[in-house]
């Protein structure tokens, strides 16, 4: 066991250290454009990770971008109208998004499946109308300009480190949640809601907490985005973003912890690479999305796991795992 | 004023009824929310436009060509893609979204960023109860009404309609009774997309044809199938009238920018207090 642990540990440590240092050094040798792309990827990772939390409980929402937008608008409005420092704007932005999410789950507690999907779509539409029409606060269609930068930074590099650090914090928190009893209970609700209720899991409260934590991080990401870009408008948060978030999760494999990250990184890179292809970009993106959803119903990470249990060394058969016998069941939806 | 309101409300209600009847049929049979429905609508108008302006057809022939082509395209889309997602809500939605992104881009490539209009075969206007109504609007109302009644008849009285309802209620039981679920799904998809194309060719005579014209009717169709109850064609018709007239009234008395938000608000209230909609079953 010790041998296995150390070898596996080494296998992970070296690529992580190399990859991590390359990532940290990126702003110093890459062009500012690439740094910007990486910042977008980080924000997308946060969005995908936070979206996953409610998704695994069986509620697929269509309005994650709205929580992102609520965070961005709240933070920007506080900074502009009241002149509050970034830290307070950031916190309040996240909390506002979390409150909105908890409220949405509470009032729609009777809606399931397709109905929740469409109700969250309606919520997205209503909030878009609010952002467009509440001109005194949100600036309407022209949005809010010259939002004060974080601690006066005006170049890309500091934002790269700030947002990278926050992404790391997000992944760490999500990992703790994933490993916790609460995380398992969320998965249990998604697997069999009635059964979970029978064994004493408060389904509604769990979903509210999951949605609130997810929206909290989406709101934080929105706040970072607003102060990084310096400009937000309803067009910064189009309906498509929510579709992209959903597709990253599904492409990567939403039931696996690393799935949303893989999906977000891969698809953001593909769509940025695709910019060079001009008109074919959207068709390429659509083709990749369709191919993945048709060929790999459990996403990329799900497929890799399946292949590893099928063709890899039978490490699960050894006596040194808790499972004891046989490979773990592959969740087939 | 009142008569004008009623005419505008009717035009909107009937076109969104055509869209949402198709979407709700597809949902009933395949349990998939067809996000690409707006693109079939757009294709209907775009193909009719090309048939009229490149092939020199008249409006009626061009519409028939467009509706038949889009219906066939819908059948093929079901055969290649949607059939595999029977009952898989989220995967089906994502596949539909992927098709929607791709189709919309095809629309940009073949049609370009222009805004065009289909030339209506009827011109001039008539006065009804003091309202001046252009003939193209009357054409929309007439054709849509006939088609909707035809669809209601098809679902209620024909063998295909009975099979559709059987598959919707329980696809496995329908299969044991010798109904080919795949065949019914393919026909349903063809009919639903042909209805969307019809709506596109009709609306293209009044509003402009462009590659993203499908987004707004898609949003309306979502609202309508929520309010009407998913899978219920009758519910979709009733809800289309409620939402169409609500939109028309709100636009006239309050301002068009609030109309869509209010419709979505109606949908949210419906989902909160009666999640299965007007006519849907749980």
Query: What single string gives the DSSP state of each residue in chain B?
Result: -HHHHHHHHHHHHHHHHHHHHHHHHHHHHH----TTHHHHHHHHHHHHHHHHHTS---HHHHHHHHHHHHHHHHHHHHHHTGGGGTT-HHHHHHHHHHHHHHHHHHHHHHHTT--B-PPPS--SEEEETTEEEEHHHHHHHHHHHHHHHHHHHHHHHSHHHHHHHHHHH-HHHHHHTT--HHHHHHHHHHHHHHHHHHHHHHHTTTS-B-TTTTHHHHHHHHHHHHHH-TT-HHHHHHHHHHHHHHHHHHHHHT-HHHHHHHHHHHHHHHHHH-TTTTT---
pLDDT of residue A213 exceeding 90: yes
Q: What is the pLDDT of residue A192?
A: 86
User: For the residues B2-23, what does the mean pLDDT come to?
Assistant: 87
pLDDT of residue A7 exceeding 80: no
User: For the residues B47-60, what does the mean pLDDT come to?
Assistant: 88
pLDDT of residue A318 exceeding 50: no
pLDDT of residue B47 exceeding 60: yes
- Contact: A119, B268; criterion CB under 8 Å: yes
**Chain segment B160-195, per-residue pLDDT in tens:** 988 988 888 888 888 888 888 889 899 999 999 999
Beta bridge partners of B131: B128
Percent pLDDT > 90 in chain B is: 28
| Banded model confidence at residue A314, pLDDT cuts 50, 70, 90 | low
The model carries a pTM of: 0.81
| Banded model confidence at residue A325, pLDDT cuts 50, 70, 90 | very low
Q: What is the pLDDT of residue A326?
A: 47
User: For the residues B71-90, what does the mean pLDDT come to?
Assistant: 88
Place of tokens 């939402």: B243
Greater pLDDT, A73 or B127:
A73
Greater pLDDT, A316 or A160:
A160
Contacts of A285 in chain B (CB under 8 A): 101
Q: What is the pLDDT of residue A320?
A: 43
List the single range of B98-107, B120-129, B245-254 with lowest mean pLDDT. B120-129
**Chain segment A48-60, per-residue pLDDT in tens:** 999 999 888 888 8
Q: Is A153 on the interface with B (CB under 8 A)?
A: no
Min Cα–Cα distance to chain A from B61, Å: 31
| Banded model confidence at residue A311, pLDDT cuts 50, 70, 90 | confident
Q: Is A114 on the interface with B (CB under 8 A)?
A: yes
Greater pLDDT, A306 or A318:
A306
Q: Which of residues 219-238 of A touch B (CB under 8 A)?
A: none
**Chain segment B225-269, per-residue pLDDT in tens:** 888 887 788 888 999 999 999 888 888 888 777 788 788 888 888
Greater pLDDT, B197 or B84:
B197
Ramachandran angles phi, psi of B191, nearest 5°? -65, -45
pLDDT of residue A118 exceeding 70: yes
pLDDT of residue A319 exceeding 80: no
Q: Which among A108, A129, A285 is the nearest to B101, CB-wise?
A: A285
Chain B interface, best mutation among A125, A131, A135, A248, by max B CB count within 10 A: A125
């Amino acid at each position: 066991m010790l041998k296995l642990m150390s070898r596996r540990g080494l296998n992970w440590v070296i690529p992580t250290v190399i990859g991590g240092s390359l990532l940290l050094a990126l702003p110093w040798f890459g062009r500012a454009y690439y740094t910007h792309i990486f910042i977008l990827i980080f924000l997308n990772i946060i969005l995908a990770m936070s979206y996953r939390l409610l998704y695994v409980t069986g509620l697929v929402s269509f309005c994650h971008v709205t929580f992102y937008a609520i965070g961005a608008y709240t933070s920007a409005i506080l900074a502009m109208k009241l002149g509050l420092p970034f830290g307070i704007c950031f916190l309040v932005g996240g909390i506002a998004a979390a409150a909105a999410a908890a409220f949405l789950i509470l009032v729609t507690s009777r809606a399931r499946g397709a109905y929740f999907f469409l109700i969250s779509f309606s919520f997205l539409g209503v909030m878009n109308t609010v952002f467009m029409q509440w001109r005194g606060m949100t600036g309407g269609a022209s949005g809010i300009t010259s939002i004060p930068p974080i601690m006066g930074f005006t170049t890309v590099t500091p934002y790269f480190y700030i947002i990278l650090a926050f992404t790391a914090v997000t992944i760490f928190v999500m990992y703790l949640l994933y490993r916790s009893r609460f995380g398992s209970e969320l998965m249990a609700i998604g697997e069999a809601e009635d059964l979970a209720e029978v064994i004493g899991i408060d389904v509604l409260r769990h979903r509210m907490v999951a949605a609130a934590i997810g929206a909290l991080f989406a709101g934080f990401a929105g706040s970072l985005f607003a102060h990084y870009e310096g400009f937000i408008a309803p067009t910064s948060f189009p309906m498509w973003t929510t579709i992209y978030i959903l597709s990253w999760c599904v492409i990567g494999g939403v039931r696996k912890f690393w799935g949303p990250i893989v999906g977000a990184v891969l698809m953001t890179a593909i769509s940025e690479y695709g910019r060079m292809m001009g008109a074919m970009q959207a068709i390429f993106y659509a083709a990749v999305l369709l191919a993945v959803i048709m060929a790999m119903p459990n996403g990329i990470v799900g497929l890799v796991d399946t292949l590893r249990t099928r063709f890899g060394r039978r490490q699960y058969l050894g006596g040194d795992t808790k499972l004891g016998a046989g490979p773990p069941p592959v969740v087939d939806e | 004023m009142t008569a004008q309101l009623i005419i505008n409300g009717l035009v909107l209600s009937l076109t969104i009824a055509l869209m949402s009847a198709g979407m709700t049929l597809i949902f009933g049979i395949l349990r998939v929310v067809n996000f690409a429905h707006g693109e079939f609508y757009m294709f209907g108008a775009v193909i009719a436009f090309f048939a009229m302006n490149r092939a020199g057809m008249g409006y009626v022939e061009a519409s028939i060509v467009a509706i038949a082509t889009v219906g066939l395209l819908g059948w093929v889309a079901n055969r290649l893609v949607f059939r595999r997602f029977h009952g898989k809500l989220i995967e089906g939605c994502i596949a539909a979204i992927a098709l929607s992104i791709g189709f919309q881009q095809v629309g940009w490539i073949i049609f370009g960023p222009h805004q065009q209009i289909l030339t209506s075969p009827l011109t001039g206007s008539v006065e009804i109860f003091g309202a001046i109504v252009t003939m193209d609007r009357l054409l929309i109302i007439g054709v849509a009404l006939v088609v909707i009644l035809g669809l209601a008849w098809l679902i209620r009285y024909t063998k295909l309609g009975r099979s559709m309802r059987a598959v919707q209620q329980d696809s496995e039981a329908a299969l044991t009774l010798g109904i080919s679920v795949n065949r019914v799904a393919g026909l349903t998809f063809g009919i639903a997309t042909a209805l969307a194309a019809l709506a596109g060719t009709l609306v293209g005579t009044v509003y402009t044809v462009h590659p993203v014209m499908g987004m707004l009717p898609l949003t309306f169709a979502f609202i309508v199938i929520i309010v009407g109850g998913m899978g219920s064609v009758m519910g979709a018709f009733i809800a289309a009238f409620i939402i169409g007239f609500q939109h028309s009234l709100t636009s006239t008395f309050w301002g068009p920018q609030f109309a869509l938000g209010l419709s979505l608000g109606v949908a949210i209230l419906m989902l909160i207090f009666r999640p299965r909609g007007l006519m849907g079953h749980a």
